[in-house]
Amino acid sequence: MRTELHFSASDLALTRFAVSPMQEVVTSLRAVACSPVSALHRRWAGQVRERLATAGPAMERLAALVPPTGHLPDFLNPAPAGFSPTLTDELAAITATGARQVRADLDILAAEAGGRLPGALAPLHRDPAAHLPRLAADIEAYWALALAPYWARIRALLAADVFHRSRQAAEHGTARMLGELHDTVRWDGTALLLEQRHCAVTRLNAGSGLLLLPSVFAWPRVLTRVLPPDPPQLIYPARGTAALWERQPEAAGRTEALAGVLGRSRARLLSELDSPGSTTELAHRTGLSPAGVSQHLTALRAAGLTSAHRAGHAVLHARTAVGDSLFGQDGQACAQDAPHPSDRLSGR
């Protein structure tokens, strides 16, 4: 199916970009549940699946709420109020969702599951107001395990994509920018043509303007969310996603160069943090003592090169955007997006 989203001058004036943590939460939940995992995200999934296995009921509820195929609840992706809301901002919007919307989304999930809602979601359907805070806590737990240690890298890539698109619009016009978002998206001068849609997206069932959100985990699909009075959301694959999880080929040489500045042990640790890990894991990977790893990480964190993220009983250490830049990972890489049939975020 092809659908057309028509634009007025006002709609074009209200078109904007945003970077949404919840968008990456929802799409990454689906990505990590795939079997087999897409080759693009296999390295990331291999690192986080073992951690997620410790999350217990929280992951059971989230897996039921974000199934591998079909409907993705609209209330999980509120329209970002600004360019870069925090996860806390978006969770506040989710917990404020009215019971009618929550139940409408859950009813669709039940219909797609043969008329029966998964038992893990029954309490949320029965009393949304009482159980939305628990859902927010589940999302925070997932975020700490699967996304927080990588967020500096992910956000840098998403911001770089927005910078590229904004510059493209400034230099060549909005029409060209819209026309180059994805192979299944085309601008004809008055409307955005969306190919291979499961459901029509029109101004009759959409708010004004357009909200463009680059995404790492939506790749290679284009997703849409339509829930008036919010502007329609178009979630498209960010440039550079294909290189996001790759180890830089020049990392060994850079580690040697950094050793002269940071010392060999700290440079080695910083290199190892291409894959986030706990103090114990890093000690095993580097051969350093846990006490030595802890001391070096404290110094690297004070210099702004690493960050620490509590995940249950463990603390995961990761490189910051500044640390990544020392290894050439600045989010500026460009990948060719493979064409793929589009999905609607709502799945209906």
* Matching residue, tokens 């998206």: 185
Instruction: Show Cβ contacts of residue 18 under 8 Å, excluding neighbours closer than 6 positions.
Output: 80, 82, 83, 84, 85, 211, 212, 213
Q: Work out the pLDDT band at 231, boundaries 50, 70, 90.
A: confident
User: Which amino acid, one-letter code, is at 190?
Assistant: T
Q: What is the pLDDT of residue 346?
A: 42
Q: To 5 degrees, how large is the angle CA 248–CA 252–CA 253?
A: 105
CA distance 6 to 344: 18
Q: Work out the pLDDT band at 91, boundaries 50, 70, 90.
A: very high
Sheet with 16-17: list strands edge to edge.
Answer: 16-17, 211-215, 233-237, 223-225
Model confidence pLDDT, tens digit, residues 276-335: 888 888 888 888 898 988 999 999 999 999 988 876 667 888 888 788 888 766 544 333
- Beta-bridge partners for 234: 212, 224
Q: What is the pLDDT of residue 96?
A: 96
Cα-based distances in Å from 35 to 31, 63, 183, 305: 9, 14, 25, 35
Q: Work out the pLDDT band at 214, boundaries 50, 70, 90.
A: very high
Model confidence pLDDT, tens digit, residues 167-194: 888 888 888 888 888 887 888 877 777 7
* 12-21, 90-99, 193-202: the lowest-pLDDT one: 193-202
Structure tokens at 189: 């001068």
Q: What is the pLDDT of residue 334?
A: 32
Question: Would you list the domain boundaries of the chain?
Answer: 3-242, 251-325
- Beta-bridge partners for 289: none
- Beta-bridge partners for 311: 314
CA distance 170 to 182: 19
Q: Work out the pLDDT band at 133, boundaries 50, 70, 90.
A: very high
CATH number of 251-325: 1.10.10.10
CA distance 132 to 114: 24
Model confidence pLDDT, tens digit, residues 19-34: 999 999 999 999 998 8
Q: Between 181 and 119, whose confidence is greater?
A: 119
What is the reported pTM? 0.80
Paired sense of beta strands 16-17 and 211-215, if any? parallel
